[in-house]
Chain A
Amino acid sequence: GQQVMQIPQYQHVQEGEDFTTYCNSSTTLSNIQWYKQRPGGHPVFLIQLVKSGEVKKQKRLTFQFGEAKKNSSLHITATQTTDVGTYFCAGRVDSNYQLIWGAGTKLIIKP
C-alpha cells in the first residue's frame, strides 16, 4: 500500500544545533502537510506544501517539497527548547482524500 516513510525516528540535539526530518513517499503526492505534537499534546498544523520544488519558511523552520513531489523535509535552524516535540508529515495522494501519515520524528533537546 501507499506509505510515507519518515526518518529519523528520534533526533537528539544540543540547544542551538540544527534539526532535520525527512519524508519519502512511494507515490507522487498532491500535497504534503506538516504537524507538530508537543509532549502530552495534540497535533498542530504547521504548513501545507502543494507545488513541485516549493520552499516555505516560518521563522527558523524551512519546509521543502521535492521536485518529483515524492519527498519533503523540515529543517529547524538553531533549535530552542520550545521546539521539543514530534514532527509528523502527512501526504495526500491525488484522487484520494486520505492523509498518509509518516511515523514522526521526535526532537529531543539534550540538557
Chain B
Amino acid sequence: QQQVKQSPQSLIVQKGGISIINCAYENTAFDYFPWYQQFPGKGPALLIAIRPDVSEKKEGRFTISFNKSAKQFSLHIMDSQPGDSATYFCAASLTSGSRLTFGEGTQLTVNP
C-alpha cells in the first residue's frame, strides 16, 4: 500500500515539446507529492511539489496536475529543452512523516 508507480520508464521528446510523466499512489493518507530531478552523478533535487488541496501547481515551465479521486498526479514540462534531460522521480509522503516513497523514475531525453 506504500507503493508509488511511475510511467513511462523513458521518454524522448523534441525541443519545444511537452513532456508528461505520470504517477499513481495507493496510500490515501499520503498528503505531499514532490517531484525530484536527478542529473547523472548527482543526487535528486526537489523540482516542484503539491498538496492534495489543490488540483494544479505551476512553477515556470513545470506543472503538477493532481487528481485525488483517481490517486494520480503528473508532471508536465512545457517547452522542453535539452537541459531538461534528466531522470525524474515522483514521490509521496505524509507531511507529518519523514519518509519519501519514490516512484521508479523516468529518464527524459530532449532532442535538440
A joins B in a complex: no
**B residues lining the A interface (CB < 8 Å):** none
Contacts from A to B (Cβ < 8 Å): none
